[in-house]
Amino acid sequence: MMLRDKLSGVLVALGLLAGLGACQNKDDATAGKGPAEKAGAQVDAAAAKAGEALNKAGEKTGQALQSAGEKTGEAVKEGGEKLENTAKDAQTKE
């Protein structure tokens, strides 16, 4: 009788453990992973976010450099025109 009671207690305990294991969310990215795997997943996520931020910063920097280059080109063109006009004025005065 005692063996049967112990065996039924063990079976009930195993049934409860199996039931609790089935309740675990399988969609969780860290489900069933150890501490190192969880940390690695977090590092991967952080690296992806940092990469996206760097891409955005690079795009903004590229746009700013292009705008600065266009403004510099316009300023050089205006300076060249002024220099040319000054040279023409100097030739006509001679």
In this predicted structure, the answer to whether residue 74 has a pLDDT above a threshold of 60 is yes
pLDDT on residue 71? 93
What is the pLDDT averaged over residues 62-80?
92
Query: pLDDT tier at 6 (50, 70, 90 boundaries)?
Result: confident
Query: pLDDT tier at 15 (50, 70, 90 boundaries)?
Result: confident
E-strand spans in the chain? none
Identify which of 91, 68, 71 has the alpha carbon closest to the alpha carbon of residue 79: 71
Higher pLDDT, 44 or 5: 44
Asked if residue 31 lies in contact with residue 24, where contact means CB atoms within 8 angstroms, the answer is yes
Residues 28-42 pLDDT 10s = 555 678 888 989 999
Higher pLDDT, 49 or 19: 49
Which 8-state DSSP code applies to residue 29?
T
Distances (CA, A) of 13 to 6, 10, 33, 39, 92: 11, 5, 24, 32, 109
Q: State the number of CA atoms in the 13 A half-sphere of 55 facing the CB.
A: 6
The greatest distance separating any two alpha carbons of the chain, rounded to the nearest whole angstrom, comes to: 130
